[in-house]
């Protein structure tokens, strides 16, 4: 069984924390910088699309959330590091409020793969699965 080096574990945990903060504060430039150029965003497990490429993935997220207030929280990471590649499963919850009154409260998991490039960890693939969604409006 692989075990993470604490420095790598901490760097990946901080990467995911930035993911939540930059997404919720709509810092799209900073958010895009968290992903590898060939990143995959797979939301098929929660009723959405599978998108390939950083620019396309960020554009899809931005279009779906730009008129919403969001809060994304992650916890209980299971991070495994193998050299310059790592995987993690994060428990997550999110609350979304759109200006048209639509609301979503949900919970589930992020299943992610990371790559180390130029000494920094990047998200190479993220797959969102949902345990429940409460959608109103």
Domain count, the chain: 1
Task: Please report whether residue 73 resides in a domain.
Answer: yes
Is 11 inside any structural domain?
yes
Q: Is residue 101 in a domain?
A: yes
What proportion of the chain, given as a percentage, has pLDDT over 70? Answer: 97
Query: What is the pLDDT at residue 71?
Result: 98
Q: What is the pTM of this model?
A: 0.94
- 37 in any annotated domain: yes
Predicted pLDDT at 46: 84
| CATH number of residue 26's parent domain | 3.10.450.50
Question: Residues 55-81: pLDDT tens digits?
Answer: 999 999 999 999 999 999 999 999 999
- Identify the band that residue 6 occupies on the pLDDT scale cut at 50, 70 and 90: confident
> What is the 3-state composition of the chain as percent helix, strand, coil, each rounded to the nearest 5?
30, 55, 20
Q: What's the token pair of residue 5?
A: 């080096």
Q: How confident is the model at residue 2 (pLDDT cuts 50, 70, 90)?
A: low
Question: Is residue 97 a part of any domain in this protein?
Answer: yes
Summarised one tens digit per residue, pLDDT across range 31-45 is 999 999 999 999 998
| Mean pLDDT score, 119-128 | 97
- Summarize pLDDT for 11-34 with one digit per residue, the tens: 999 999 999 999 999 999 999 999
Q: Quick check: is 51 in a domain?
A: yes
Residue 1 is assigned to a structural domain of this protein: no
Task: Provide the pLDDT for residue 32.
Answer: 98
Contact residues for 42 (Cβ-Cβ < 8 A; gap 6+)? 50, 51, 125, 126, 127, 128
Query: Which structural domain, as residue segments, surrounds residue 68?
Result: 6-136
- Assigned domain for 127 exists: yes
């Amino acid at each position: 069984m692989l075990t993470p080096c604490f420095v790598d574990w901490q760097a990946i945990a901080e990467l995911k924390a930035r993911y939540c903060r930059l997404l919720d504060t709509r810092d799209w430039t900073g958010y895009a910088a968290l992903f590898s150029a060939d990143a995959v965003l797979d939301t098929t497990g929660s009723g959405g699309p599978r998108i390939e490429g950083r620019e396309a993935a960020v554009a899809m997220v931005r279009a779906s959330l730009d008129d919403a207030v969001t809060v994304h929280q992650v916890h209980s990471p299971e991070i495994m590091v193998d050299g310059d590649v790592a995987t993690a499963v994060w428990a997550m919850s999110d609350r979304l409020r759109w200006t048209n009154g639509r609301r979503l409260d949900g919970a589930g998991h992020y299943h992610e793969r990371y790559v180390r490039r130029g000494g920094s960890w990047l998200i190479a693939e993220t797959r969102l699965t949902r345990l429940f969604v409460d959608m109103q409006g």
